[in-house]
Structure 1
Amino acid sequence: MKILDWYILKRYLFTFLMMLLLFIPIAIMVHLAEKIGKIISNDVPFDEVALYLLNFTIYFANLLFPLFLFLSVIFFTSKLANNTEIVAFLSSGVSFGRFLRPYIIGATLVAIMALFLGMYLAPWASTGYNEFRYKYLSSSRDLQDTKNVFRRITDNDYIYVSSFDPKSKRGQNFTLEHLKDNKLEYKIFANSIQYIEEDSIYKLNGYYKRVYDSLGNVTVEEKRSMNVEFTFDVDDLTPVNYIAETKSYGELVDFIDKEKSRGAPNIGRYEVVKLKKWSLPASVFILTIIAVAVSSKKRRGGMGVNLAIGITVAMIYVFFDKIFGVLAAQSDFSPMVAVWFPNLVFGILALYLLQNAKR
């Protein structure tokens, strides 16, 4: 039986590796052909382009990791079925569950790889990939949420700006409220706020401050401009939209807790990224079982029919994953449901197909 395990396991890992080596260079060439005009017009140094393509390779592999695995399992299992090797295995007294064991071992190895990739390597690659993309290839207009920014910066302080420009580090219609024991102690208004990087201070133009004492009396202070030191960093006001992708798992958990305490409006987007670090390895097992169940029978039309079924299932999986991910990122839809619902649906499908394949 060990010979059977090694035979299937080697085919499992080798075909998956070949699938990656086949599709990733194609993806790089297509992507480079699409962006080469902007790269040349911006006079991007060669070493930056090379590093960008390396980051793109890791980013792309992490994005479509389960689908490459799914198609590779269908491909080599269909070849086994067409060569009647599976019939020979099962006819020798091997149960279908026992036949599935090397696939599960292979899925475990790939899932561990996917877990490491998502937790540590992909965040590093995502940083370089996105920084290059926004620096040279696309507009930074949608890089950050810059309208109606409301954040909690400490346990007692809340700030608001109607608009903020990350490039000039300038905001309009700034207010700061300081509370103590749920009572407003003072409130600062300014027509504009400007971050002075050399001195690490903020310049408030049209400064106006109201101070409230315990008796309800109000003291007013008004100045044309005022330099103030705040406890928050200017980048904390409007973090880039892809920031969650650039953090390792531990850093991401701390970042989400910090953003929640500040009342950030886009927590769902960050939660989706965090949960996908766990759902991706789980999907490796689900898609492996589906692939084996679909392709382990010899069919009329040969391998092409199995690949057609596999591509259809893969497209449906991607559709579910993307639709629910966008729902969670841009609405109050539960990130937990959004991330795990596709795996739940396809997990049930995997069990159903597995039972049919055993008959």
Structure 2
Amino acid sequence: MNTLRRFVYREVIAAVAFVTLGFLALFFFFDLLDELRWVGRSGGTYELSHALLFVALGIPSHLYELLPITVLIGTIYVMARLAQSSEFTIMRTSGLGPGRALRTLLTLGAVFVVVTFAAGDYLAPWSDRMSQLVKARYMGRITTGATGAWLKERQDDQSYAVNVRAIGPDGGMQNVRIFAFDSQGRLTSQTHAQAARFGSDGAWTLEQVRRSSFHSRGADEASVEHLQAPSLRWPTHISADMVAAAVLKPDRMATLDLFQYIRHLEANGQSAQRYEIEFWRKVFYPLSCLVMVVLALPFAYLHFRAGGIAGYVFGGVMAGISFFLLNNVFGYAGNLQNWSPWITAAAPGIIYSLVSLAAFGWLVLRR
């Protein structure tokens, strides 16, 4: 039995690796074509080597996105080929029963779950940050929209609204504005800094600072105090990862960083529905590899005629693509309808797991 397991593992891993490399090469080619339009711009500082580096750093993100679908394609191909050549029939007569076959593929799927989690939580966030720094270093700054990113924080009896217009090539912030409000919601100060850097103690170091403080003395008397300083220290709990989450895409963050950012939003009275859905999607997304191998197993119990394998494999691939479409639809619908985040993220996987197990049971018990 160990020989059969090793044979199945070897065949599936080889097929998944081949399909993954093919998809990554295709994405690399299309990304490079899209990136070539920026070569030579920005004063000619962005060259072909920089474009190649930027596209290469995007490979881990594509790997994370593609792994479940390549696991499905590779496993379907191996199962269908074994069924067509009657090798799987021989395995069944050698003691590979339905339950043992399911456990074998689930064990292999667990390995793909670990690989997908590592790619999404460690490789992809790091490579995405590096790619954005490459783009910022040779093309300018990283920004989002016309007004930049907005964050909120509460400190003692004051609340702050922080606007970061862009992230510079060195990873520091540019054109930072900080609005301070008292417990009654009245503006008490407005601070503008040309640049800001993250300190080792969590505080920000503001550079080229202009601050206007508003003081009220009774109902009819008020004054404004102006301050200009080359640098100013501002204590805050807003970290670099939180700023990056506001400027960049939340799905590129690590799961723990996303969880901490959600707690920060909730502590400051901001809506975290979108980020909660992304958090639970990152939790359940690697588990979709288990769904994919369960979805592929029924193909081993089909009886293929000559030339008929391509149609079944294509149908299985379309089923996998529909899973990812349903996953995205649930994400958008859950955000609009304010559904429970973990149910929104888990529902597609549960639905397809039940369908896969039902198909597997029907083929084994009825046929």
Equivalent runs, 1:322-333 vs 2, <5 Å: 322-328=328-334, 332-333=338-339
Specify the alignment match of 1:64 in structure 2: 66
Specify the alignment match of 1:271 in structure 2: 276
1: distance between equivalents of 2:286 and 2:196?
43
Unaligned runs of 5+ in 2: 168-173, 198-204
Specify the alignment match of 1:117 in structure 2: 119
Amino acid at match of 1:176: A
**Cα 1:30/1:196, change in 2 over 3 Å:** closer
Specify the alignment match of 1:104 in structure 2: 106
Deviation at 1:83, TM superposition (A): 0.4
1: distance between equivalents of 2:121 and 2:239?
27
When normalised by structure 2's length, the TM-score is 0.79
What SS does structure 1 have at the residue aligned with 2:286? helix
Specify the alignment match of 2:129 in structure 1: 127
Equivalent runs, 1:87-166 vs 2, <5 Å: 87-132=89-134, 142=144, 146=148, 149=150, 151-160=152-161, 165-166=165-166
When normalised by structure 1's length, the TM-score is 0.81
Specify the alignment match of 2:30 in structure 1: 30
2: distance between equivalents of 1:6 and 1:237?
47
What SS does structure 2 have at the residue aligned with 1:281? coil
Specify the alignment match of 2:303 in structure 1: 298
What SS does structure 2 have at the residue aligned with 1:188? strand
1: distance between equivalents of 2:119 and 2:285?
10
Amino acid at match of 2:65: L
Instruction: State the Cα RMSD in Å.
Output: 3.5
Specify the alignment match of 2:170 in structure 1: none
Specify the alignment match of 1:259 in structure 2: 265
What SS does structure 2 have at the residue aligned with 1:263? coil
2: distance between equivalents of 1:138 and 1:334?
39
Larger mean CA deviation between 333-342 and 345-354 belongs to 333-342
Q: Are the counterparts in 2 of residues 144 and 238 from structure 1 also a CA contact under 8 Å? A: no
State the aligned residue count: 344
Q: Are the counterparts in 2 of residues 293 and 353 from structure 1 also a CA contact under 8 Å? A: yes
Instruction: Provide, for residues 183-236 of structure 1, a one-character-per-residue CA deviation record: whole Å limited to 9, x for no partner.
Output: x4974165x84456497264235x533368xxxx78632246677864346976
What SS does structure 2 have at the residue aligned with 1:240? helix
Q: Are the counterparts in 2 of residues 20 and 68 from structure 1 also a CA contact under 8 Å? A: yes
**Cα 1:186/1:344, change in 2 over 3 Å:** same
Q: Does 1:343 align with 2:344?
A: no
Q: Does 1:83 align with 2:85?
A: yes
1: distance between equivalents of 2:296 and 2:302?
11
Instruction: Provide, for residues 18-67 of structure 1, a one-character-per-residue CA deviation record: whole Å limited to 9, x for no partner.
Output: 11122211211122122212134354245543432332111101012100
**Cα 1:346/1:143, change in 2 over 3 Å:** farther
2: distance between equivalents of 1:65 and 1:139?
31
Deviation at 1:256, TM superposition (A): 2.4
2: distance between equivalents of 1:103 and 1:271?
31
Amino acid at match of 1:343: G
% identity of equivalent residues = 14
Unaligned runs of 5+ in 1: none
**Cα 1:87/1:234, change in 2 over 3 Å:** closer
Q: Does 1:203 align with 2:210?
A: yes
